[in-house]
Amino acid sequence: MDNALASTSFAVASERPESTTARPLVNAKSTPMNGKILSIEALTVSFDGFKAVDGLDMSIDENELRVVIGPNGAGKTTLLDMICGKTKPTSGSIRFRGTELGKLSDYQIVRLGVGRKFQTPSIYEDLTVAENLEISIPQVHGVWASIFFRRSKEVRERIGYVAEEIMLKDHLRMKSGKLSHGQKQWLEIGLLLMQDSDLMLLDEPVAGMSPREREETAELLKRIANGKSLVVIEHDMDFVRSIAKKVTVLHQGRLLSEGSVEEVQNDPRVIEVYLGH
Ligand code: ADP
Ligand code: MG
């Protein structure tokens, strides 16, 4: 990585700048889904006869922050794998703003506006925070495109905006490997924000974080959900309570319960299989 970024200054925009990413594949807003951004029907995936997700129906609203919980092996990660195209469904439907995702590649799904944060970190530790954010812009591929984008004011503004959002604006020139575990997780979320995904999928984003970092992450996710949809897998119930309006409980690949935190915690089926303590 050259150090062209090192000499640039990072504007910290108080308002969200226009997206620098184009989405040529579809006009995503052209197919209304009654306020839903994601609609899943009868979704099933079978691994050698074992149904990790089994006939699942669920939908996510525009600007919703949904939490998915469930015991280990419930199929939560597999569900995200199918939404982002990493795993192909055996049957059923996943529609994102009217576009069927089941047959698209993971790359095409990102281009449509679906971003995924995996459980394992995928940042480049030898690059600075700013460089990681910069190269996560999908269009910045190839030397000329890269030089062009690097010079663009919008990109600098966007990096500044995202860095402030993820609480790393004072760390832009720090090598990412030097960040704390929690800060690395925030940077990962920042990579998704750079992509300007409209639907963000986060798998256990506060795993390994300190209580303070968890609180800050809860605030971060609530801020993000004011303008995007998020699906967050989490099992820390204090954290779930702090962010969730609506919770989906999976068990053995099926929908066990859905509702407010209080409703699912009082649901006898949930108490039996998941919260039975
Ligand atoms: P969760 O994230 O809720 O803990 P997962 O979605 O990771 O659960 O896994 C659900 C079930 O599917 C588990 O029993 C797991 O072993 C199984 N599974 C997941 N991926 C595969 C795969 N590629 N091949 C076979 N079995 C899998
Ligand atoms: Mg999992």
pLDDT digits (tens, 9 = 90+) for 150-201: 567 778 899 999 999 999 999 999 999 999 999 999 999 999 999 888 999 9
Does 52 sit in the ligand 1 pocket, CB within 6 Å?
A: yes
d(CA 102, CA 89): 6
Q: What is the pLDDT of residue 1?
A: 41
The set of residues, in sequence order, having a beta carbon less than 8 Å from that of 48 and lying 6+ positions away, is none
**What is the arithmetic mean of pLDDT over 103-121?**
85
191 closest CA partner among 178, 182, 200, 204: 200
d(CA 81, CA 106): 9
Does 76 sit in the ligand 1 pocket, CB within 6 Å?
A: yes
Q: Which residues of 168-187 are buried (b: 16+ CB within 10 A; e: fewer)?
A: bbebbeeebeebeebbbbbb
Detail the DSSP E strand segments found in 169-228.
199-203
- Percent of the chain's residues with pLDDT above 70: 81
Does 77 sit in the ligand 1 pocket, CB within 6 Å?
A: yes
- pLDDT of 37 strictly over 80: yes
**What is the arithmetic mean of pLDDT over 89-102?**
96
How many whole angstroms from its chain centre is CA 92? 22
Nearest atom in ligand 1 to 87's CA:
23
d(CA 57, CA 94): 9
- pLDDT of 133 strictly over 50: yes
- Percent of the chain's residues with pLDDT above 90: 66
The residue to mutate among 46, 47, 68, 120, having the most atoms of ligand 1 within 8 angstroms of its beta carbon, is 47
